[in-house]
């Protein structure tokens, strides 16, 4: 279980890391969000708004890593614009930032979720990166997961929309099979999800 934070300044990262250390909450890692393409986020210099400032990403990552005993990761996109990939220009620095791994979403900030993810670029960066790489983008079938693991130099993949659309995708990947799930089974999964949310939050006023 991980926490994700969007943070533009090292001192804020330090404060967040220390607060989480002292909170008593159980979590396994903290991820620095450098990949959200939404303009209302990017305009504050966080999310994918950090991609043009790798030194800033490094400074915030180092501060966060120094403030927590848990591993720190970052999630990025390929660059600001389609055809303007930039990660390869600075990936050689990232092993000095105190991060355990990085996740690359194979789209630019401009693309958001349109067109297909550029897995060839993910593979190039994963091959050259000095730390483990997690790939992300367009994994909707267990066969796609397996293909990326075999062909694109990644240690694993991050699942996003795939598990929102198919919560049973994790089972498909684990068991390496297509699960032709019935409508009743789908509804049971939805009921379990809502029930777990109510148990955790105690009300439907916070997102359910």
pLDDT at 156 over 70: yes
C-alpha 96/C-alpha 86 separation (Å) is 18
* Spatial contact of 38 and 111, defined as CB atoms under 8 Å apart: no
Give the C-alpha distances (Å, rounded to integers) separating 22 from 5, 16, 18, 69, 163.
17, 10, 6, 11, 32
pLDDT at 205: 66
pTM for the model: 0.89
pLDDT at 208 over 60: no
Give the C-alpha distances (Å, rounded to integers) separating 44 from 56, 65, 84, 142, 172.
13, 22, 22, 37, 39
Q: Which residue has the tokens 């693309």?
A: 111
Residues acting as catalytic residues:
36
pLDDT at 99 over 70: yes
* Spatial contact of 24 and 65, defined as CB atoms under 8 Å apart: no
Q: Which residue has the tokens 């983008």?
A: 137
pLDDT at 204 over 90: no
pLDDT at 199: 85
pLDDT digits (tens, 9 = 90+) for 20-37: 999 988 899 999 999 999
* Radius of gyration for the chain, computed over Cα atoms and rounded to the nearest angstrom: 18
DSSP 188: H
């Amino acid at each position: 279980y991980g926490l994700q934070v969007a943070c533009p300044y090292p001192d804020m990262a330090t404060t967040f890391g220390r607060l989480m250390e002292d909170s008593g909450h159980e979590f396994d890692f903290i991820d620095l969000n450098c990949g959200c393409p939404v303009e209302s986020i990017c305009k504050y210099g966080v999310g994918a708004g950090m991609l043009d400032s790798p030194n800033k990403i490094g400074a915030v990552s180092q501060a966060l890593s120094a403030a927590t005993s848990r591993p720190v990761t970052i999630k990025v996109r390929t660059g600001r614009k389609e055809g303007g990939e930039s990660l390869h220009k600075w990936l050689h620095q990232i092993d000095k930032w105190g991060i355990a791994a990085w996740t690359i979403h194979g789209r630019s900030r401009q693309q958001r979720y349109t067109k297909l993810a550029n897995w060839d670029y993910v593979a190039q960066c994963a091959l050259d990166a000095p730390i483990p790489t997690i790939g992300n983008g367009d994994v909707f079938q267990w066969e796609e997961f397996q293909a990326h693991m075999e062909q694109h130099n990644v240690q694993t993949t991050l699942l996003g929309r795939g598990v929102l659309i198919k919560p049973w995708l994790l089972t498909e990947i684990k068991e390496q099979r297509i699960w032709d799930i019935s409508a009743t089974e789908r509804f049971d999964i939805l009921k379990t999800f809502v029930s777990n949310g109510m148990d955790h939050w105690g009300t439907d006023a916070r997102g359910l």
